[in-house]
Amino acid sequence: MTPQQTVAPALPLHPQDEMECRRCDVHCDKVVHPGACLSRGCPFVYSYEAWGHTYVGCMQKVYDVEIDLDMLRAAEERRPGFGAIRAVRQPLPMCKSEIERTYESRQDELGCINPEFDELPVGVPTFRVIALIPG
In a domain, 79, yes or no: yes
Number of domains in the chain: 1
The domain in which residue 30 lies consists of 15-103
- Whole-angstrom Cα distance, residue 77 to residue 26? 32
In a domain, 94, yes or no: yes
In a domain, 40, yes or no: yes
Give, in order, the Cα–Cα distances in Å from 65 to each of 59, 87, 88, 110. Answer: 11, 10, 10, 36
In a domain, 84, yes or no: yes
In a domain, 108, yes or no: no
Please name the residue ranges forming H helices in 1-128.
34-39, 69-77, 116-119
Percent of the chain's residues with pLDDT above 70: 67
- Whole-angstrom Cα distance, residue 36 to residue 32? 9
In a domain, 58, yes or no: yes
- pLDDT tens digits for 21-56? 777 777 788 889 998 888 888 889 999 998 999 999
In a domain, 119, yes or no: no
The H-or-E segment that residue 63 falls in is none
pTM for the structure as a whole: 0.68
In a domain, 81, yes or no: yes
- pLDDT tens digits for 2-22? 556 655 556 666 666 677 777
Closest by CA position to 87, among listed 60, 49, 125, 50: 60
